[in-house]
Amino acid sequence: MRKAVLLGWDGVPPNLVFDDLAEVMPNLSQLTTHSNYGALRSTKPPITIPAWMCMATGCDPGQLGLYGFRHREPGNYKDVWIPDSNKIEPKKLWDFVGEKHGKVIVIGMPPSYPPPKVNGCLVSGFLAPGTDKTYTYPESLMEEIEDIVGEYSLDVFYRTEEKEELYTNLIDMVKKRHKLTKYLMKEKPWDLFVLMEVGSDRLHHGFWRFYDKEHHKYEPGNEYESKFVDFYKLLDEQLGELLEIMPDDTLFVLTSDHGAKGRKGAFCINQWLEKKGLLSLKKQPTEPQSLEDLDIDWKNTKAWGWGGYYSRIFVNVEGYEERGTVPPHEYERFRTNLAKKLLKIKGPNGEDWKNIVDKPEDIYEECIGDYPDLMVYFDDLCWRGSSSMGHESMYFYGSATGPDDAVHDWDGIYVTRFPGQTEAARKSQDILDIAPTILEFMGLETKDYMTGQAIRRQ
């Protein structure tokens, strides 16, 4: 079995590292002179869950039944669940390798808690509840990690104005994770090595406005602009050290699950639905309230929405929802008309938005689980959706969950370096291409349900 390394940098856009920061990232720049590289189109939606698992399984979100971080209990208006490792039924890359008796090391891939049994080692990602729980397989690895790095960091709290503390914690987390990675890469047997570093995504959410000159909150000469760059210098240094350790006959794949760009604000989808006469409240909130706290008159509501990087729209269908109001025979016409109205939503000053509205059945190979009836991206992801109501306007610029500078974008990055490759090629690929690429190189069988195409050496 041939060896492969999959290194993930969460949420990194291609123009940032391949162009803007190329001079301060010499290891990445050198790598791209003898690699295939470029933009990696993310999933719809371009969110950490499901994107990393789509990359690892070769399945799209519909095949996984994962449409974001939160999911509904079927037929229930307000109860939600968060995916964990038990919810991922298709085999991941490390499962394919393990069943052929190959050794694997997996660090940080979400969701990987509770830590599943693998043929090797696994360290759960940021969705693990804490290092006081069993977050590794085997469990004995926890003690080994503590001996190597001290207190391990699964994630940082990034929606905060305490920027100095956030930055310190970010750097500490990245250094510890890479120290552990280099130790395991040297000391443990492996055929497939997987590391996902979430720090880049946290940097963007916490510090994007300090770097992006197009961000509406950017201030020239601010103290964190250079620190933003310093973070990427650190990632590049760690990349260089990993490449030094790696055997020469290894396929190296660097990816990100989605891109990033400045956040403009949030659009209150349920206030819009109420204005259109499609959602009714028993009692109007006197201040902003979350969907969970609203007193919704379900018997007079035809549709409601969830917020996030995109809005999930649910139709209140008779026979499916507890107090459904839209007859099944009217469902498709109702949904199509609603989609047309959502496409026409404009910005706060009447400006045209580049809205995208999808019916899940139109974009996925299949749809399992409780998928939304419509998926809406406001102004090409520049505006988040908000499910809360009680705002003075349908548009607001703050965040109910704390300061957040960035939203996700459609394109992440990929770099593939095959053993002995000397030439370079820059072109776009799809996130579903990664699993077939690694499986094919390692001499393992791809599956018919994988629609991606293997990237091959130019």
Mean pLDDT of 353-359: 98
| pLDDT over threshold 80, residue 402 | no
pLDDT tens across 420-434, in order? 999 999 999 999 999
Q: Which residue has 């499910």 as its token pair? A: 387
Mean pLDDT of 381-393: 94
For position 74, what pLDDT does the model report? 80
* Of 255 and 74, more confident: 255
pLDDT tens across 287-340, in order? 999 998 999 999 999 999 999 999 999 999 999 999 999 999 999 999 999 999
Mean pLDDT of 56-75: 94
Mean pLDDT of 28-55: 97
| Residue at 182: amino acid letter | K
For position 404, what pLDDT does the model report? 87
| pLDDT over threshold 90, residue 343 | yes
User: Which range, of 245-254, 255-264, 395-404, averages the lowest pLDDT?
Assistant: 395-404
pLDDT tens across 114-158, in order? 999 999 999 999 999 999 999 999 999 999 999 999 999 999 999
- Residue 47's φ and ψ, nearest 5 degrees, are -130, 145
Q: How far is CA 1 from CA 55, 57, 96, 97, 443, in A?
A: 21, 19, 12, 9, 6
| pLDDT over threshold 90, residue 399 | no
Q: Model confidence at 268, in pLDDT bands (50, 70, 90)?
A: very high
The per-residue pLDDT of the chain, averaged, comes to 95
For position 302, what pLDDT does the model report? 98
What the block records as the tokens of 259 is: 């891109």
Q: Model confidence at 11, in pLDDT bands (50, 70, 90)?
A: very high
Q: Which residue has 């035809």 as its token pair? A: 302
What the block records as the tokens of 402 is: 């704390």
| pLDDT over threshold 70, residue 458 | no
Residues 6 or more apart in contact with residue 37 via CB below 8 angstroms: 18, 31, 413, 414, 415, 416, 424, 425, 426
What share of the chain in percent tops pLDDT 90? 94
